[in-house]
Structure 1
Amino acid sequence: MRLVDLIQAQGVTDPDVLRVMRAVPRHAFVLPEFLDQAYNDHALPIGYGQTISQPFIVAWMTELLELEPGDRVLEIGSGSGYQVAVLAELGYVEVYTIEIVPELAASATARLRELGYSGIHSMQGDGYYGWPEYAPFDAIIVTAAPDHLPGPLAEQLAEGGRLVIPIGPPGWYQTLWKFVKEKGELKAYSMGGVIFVPFTGEGAEKGPASGEPIP
């Protein structure tokens, strides 16, 4: 079974998400030693203690964002740039991305440029604080797990905005949460168990070690 067929079989149905998962060349985002596994449905190391996420998880989280034309979406944790490319490939959203590891930030930016993805706003820094200069965002997607909901990200979510984030302790299962801002308040929806690399920087150091959301 092909990768996108596997993703669809696991419940992802949005035609735009399936389209971009077919279009983005995952092999361009993996290390040479893992090229033979590029289209397997699992995470792979990319160095610096980080990974390129499982394709199903990328597709599922993208679908959960419920993106609409003209939306401004912030991604926390550029990593290899794969999730950024998936968002950009949609062709109708404005993409912002932050990566804390300088080497990964530089390589992801260069890789995306080489692949022809233009108009992406990239920054090297601690994603815990979001990107207030460009806030508010219609959607925020976080690809590493803090132990609590970062307050700045909640604040930078627009009215009606969606925030998809894994929350929980490092080294164990976390919970994937979807938050929707309604009348200034966050409504929380638990989407199930996931495993992500932990936040580094501020998100690894503050707040209770809990998988429960803190609006």
Structure 2
Amino acid sequence: MTTLDYAKARELMVEQQVRPWDVLDPRVLDVLAALPREAFVDEAHRNLAYTDVQLPLAHGEFMMKPVLEGRTLQSLAVDPTDDVLEIGTGSGYLTACLGRLAREVVSLECHPDLAATARKRLAAQSINNVQVVDADALTYRTDRRFNAICVTGAVSEIPPQWLQWLQPNGRLFVVRGRSPAMEGLRVTAGERNDVNAARIQSLFETDLPYLVGAAPAPAFEF
């Protein structure tokens, strides 16, 4: 039985999938090229860690495709001094990428087993500036404000409190819409973080599973 060369697969992922999708930020590319994605994938799917597919997690959740992870990271323009909130820890891989890019990361995960596994994976990679919190982002409350917020699942509408968690001029990435017609958005807060002054930029079209509780209400058909 041959063993997959993960380092080579990682290089090909960056050069043949991520970079061609206009991910050109050198810090993002460096993190994707260095971080072992296979360490965040369940054993049963490890040989698919660098393929252009969503990988299944528990509870019907999914790990984003590498290209979408790259675009997500690039859209947030995370600086080494930034504090980041992630909504949806999932496998912990994107959490780890954010940890390598930011000063500190708080990641919310509503499934305790996924949160526990992610903590172990992050610790194994010596990523110590991340706090994984068992919490539902739709009911979570905090007085803290972040430079960037990364939402790893789709929503039908952006909850207003998420924008209130941004620092002035902070950035939020989220996928919004109704499947299969969704769009990746970057929302930038105003200088005084007035929610009504936030600027919304459409970045690309995509399709992503909804966050728990964030799907649109079923439409009545007559």
Assess, with a 3 A threshold, how the Cα gap between structure 1 residues 49 and 161 changes in structure 2: closer, same or farther: same
1:64 Cα deviation after fit: 0.5
Which 4+ runs in 1 deviate beyond 3 A? none
Higher relative contact order (CA 8 A, sep 6+): 1
Correspondence 1:193 to 2:205: yes
Question: Within the alignment, does 1:82 sit opposite 2:108 as a pair?
Answer: no
Cα deviation for residue 198 of structure 1 reads 0.7
Structure 2 unpaired stretches of 5+: 1-10
Give the aligned partner of residue 117 of structure 2. Answer: 107
Q: Secondary structure at the match of 2:57?
A: strand
- By how many angstroms is 1:199 displaced? 1.5
The structure 1 residue matched to 2:37, chosen from 23, 26, 31, is 26
What is the TM-score of this pair, normalised by structure 2?
0.86
| Contact preservation (8 Å) 2:23, 2:71 | yes
- Unmatched tracts of structure 1, length 5 or more: 210-215
Distance 1:173 1:69 in 2: 34
Q: Do the aligned residues in 1 keep the contact of 2:185 with 2:200 (CA within 8 Å)?
A: yes
Partner residue of 2:156 out of 130, 139, 147: 147
In structure 2, distance between residues paired with 1:121 and 1:35:
25
1:138 aligned partner: 147
CA contact (8 A) 1:164 1:178 kept: yes
Q: Name the residue aligned to 1:213.
A: none
* CA deviation map 1:181-204 (0-9, x unaligned): 113221011112111111113x33
* Structure-2 separation of matches of 1:112 and 1:124: 15
Cα separation, partners in 2 of 1:14 and 1:138, compared to 1, 3 Å: same
Identity %: 31
Instruction: Specify the code of the residue in structure 2 equivalent to 1:140.
Output: I
- Which string of whole-angstrom CA distances, capped at 9 and with x for unpartnered residues, describes residues 146-186 of structure 1? 110011101111101001000123x4231111111113221
Q: Identify the match of residue 39 of structure 1 among 50, 59, 64.
A: 50
Aligned length: 204
CA distance in 2, matches of 1:177, 1:167: 7
Scaled by the length of structure 1, the TM-score of the pair is: 0.88
